[in-house]
Structure 1
Amino acid sequence: MNKARKQTKPRILITGGAGFLGSHLCDRYLQEGYEVICMDNLSTGSADNIAHLIGNEDFSFIKHDVTNYIHVGGEVDLILHFASPASPIDYLEMPIQTLKVGSLGTHKALGLAKAKGARFLLASTSEVYGDPLVHPQAEDYWGNVNPIGDRGVYDEAKRFAEAMTMGYHRYHGVDTRIVRIFNTYGSRMRLNDGRALPTFMRQALNGNPLTVYGDGSQTRSFMYVDDLVEGIWCLSHSDYIEPINIGNPEEVTILEFAKEIIELTESDSEIVFEELPKDDPQVRQPDISRAKKVLDWEPIIDRKQGLQKILEYFLEKVKRVGHTNIS
Structure 2
Amino acid sequence: MKKILITGAAGFLGSHLCDRFVNEGCHVIGMDNLITGDLKNIEHLFKLKNFEFYNHDVSKFVYVPGNLDYILHFASPASPIDYLKIPIQTLKVGSLGTHNLLGLAKEKNARILIASTSEVYGDPLVHPQTEDYYGNVNTIGPRGVYDEAKRFQESITMAYHTYHKVETRIVRIFNTYGPRMRLNDGRVVPAFIGQALRGEDLTVFGDGSQTRSFCYVDDLVEGIYRLLFSDYVYPVNIGNPNEITIRDFAEEIIKLTGTDQKIIYKPLPVNDPLQRQPDITRAKKILKWEPKTERSEGMKRTLEYFKNLSEEELYKSEHKDFSSYS
TM-score by length of 2: 0.96
Aligned ranges 1:271-286 → 2 under 5 Å: 271-286=263-278
Q: What RMSD, in angstroms, separates the aligned Cα atoms of the two structures? A: 0.9
Distance 1:273 1:303 in 2: 24
1:321 offset after TM fit, Å? 2.9
1:322 offset after TM fit, Å? 4.9
Aligned ranges 1:76-95 → 2 under 5 Å: 76-95=68-87
After superposition, the C-alpha distances for 1:175-195 in whole angstroms (9 at most, x for unaligned) are 000000000001111111000
The corresponding residue for 1:47 is 39
Distance 2:250 2:172 in 1: 25
The corresponding residue for 2:297 is 305
Distance 2:116 2:313 in 1: 31
Distance 2:124 2:14 in 1: 27
The corresponding residue for 2:176 is 184
Matched, 1:158 2:145: no
Distance 1:269 1:307 in 2: 18
Identity %: 65
1:311 offset after TM fit, Å? 1.3
Secondary structure at 1:197 match in 2: helix
Q: Which moved more, 1:310-319 or 1:110-119?
A: 310-319
Identify unmatched segments of 5+ residues in structure 1.
1-8
Matched, 1:15 2:7: yes
After superposition, the C-alpha distances for 1:114-136 in whole angstroms (9 at most, x for unaligned) are 00000010000000000000000
Q: Is the 8 A contact 1:221 1:251 kept in 2?
A: yes
Distance 1:246 1:98 in 2: 22
Distance 1:171 1:108 in 2: 16
Distance 1:21 1:63 in 2: 17
Query: Which 4+ residue blocks in structure 1 deviate beyond 3 angstroms?
Result: 322-326
Matched letter for residue 81 of structure 2: I
Matched letter for residue 297 of structure 1: W
Distance 1:271 1:255 in 2: 8
Matched, 1:294 2:286: yes
Identify unmatched segments of 5+ residues in structure 2.
321-326
Matched letter for residue 102 of structure 1: G
Matched, 1:231 2:223: yes
Aligned ranges 1:43-192 → 2 under 5 Å: 43-192=35-184
Distance 1:191 1:168 in 2: 37
Q: Is the 8 A contact 1:12 1:36 kept in 2?
A: yes
Secondary structure at 1:278 match in 2: coil
Secondary structure at 1:317 match in 2: coil
Q: Is the 8 A contact 1:15 1:80 kept in 2?
A: yes
Distance 2:313 2:184 in 1: 11
The structure-2 alpha-carbon separation of the partners of 1:212 and 1:34, relative to structure 1 and needing over 3 Å to count, comes to same
Distance 1:268 1:206 in 2: 12
1:55 offset after TM fit, Å? 1.2
Secondary structure at 1:252 match in 2: strand
Q: Is the 8 A contact 1:181 1:245 kept in 2?
A: yes
After superposition, the C-alpha distances for 1:22-58 in whole angstroms (9 at most, x for unaligned) are 0000000000010000000000001111110011000
Distance 2:8 2:314 in 1: 28
The structure-2 alpha-carbon separation of the partners of 1:318 and 1:265, relative to structure 1 and needing over 3 Å to count, comes to farther
Aligned ranges 1:249-260 → 2 under 5 Å: 249-260=241-252
Q: Is the 8 A contact 1:205 1:318 kept in 2?
A: no
Distance 1:238 1:173 in 2: 16
Q: Is the 8 A contact 1:206 1:324 kept in 2?
A: no
1:19 offset after TM fit, Å? 0.5
Distance 1:63 1:99 in 2: 20
Distance 1:269 1:204 in 2: 7
Distance 1:117 1:247 in 2: 29
After superposition, the C-alpha distances for 1:239-279 in whole angstroms (9 at most, x for unaligned) are 00110000000000000000000000001211100011100
Matched, 1:241 2:233: yes
Distance 2:3 2:198 in 1: 43
Q: Is the 8 A contact 2:8 2:75 kept in 1?
A: yes
Matched, 1:202 2:194: yes
Distance 2:97 2:302 in 1: 32
Secondary structure at 1:170 match in 2: helix
In the alignment of these two chains, the number of paired residues is 319
After superposition, the C-alpha distances for 1:226-245 in whole angstroms (9 at most, x for unaligned) are 00000000001000011000
1:316 offset after TM fit, Å? 1.0
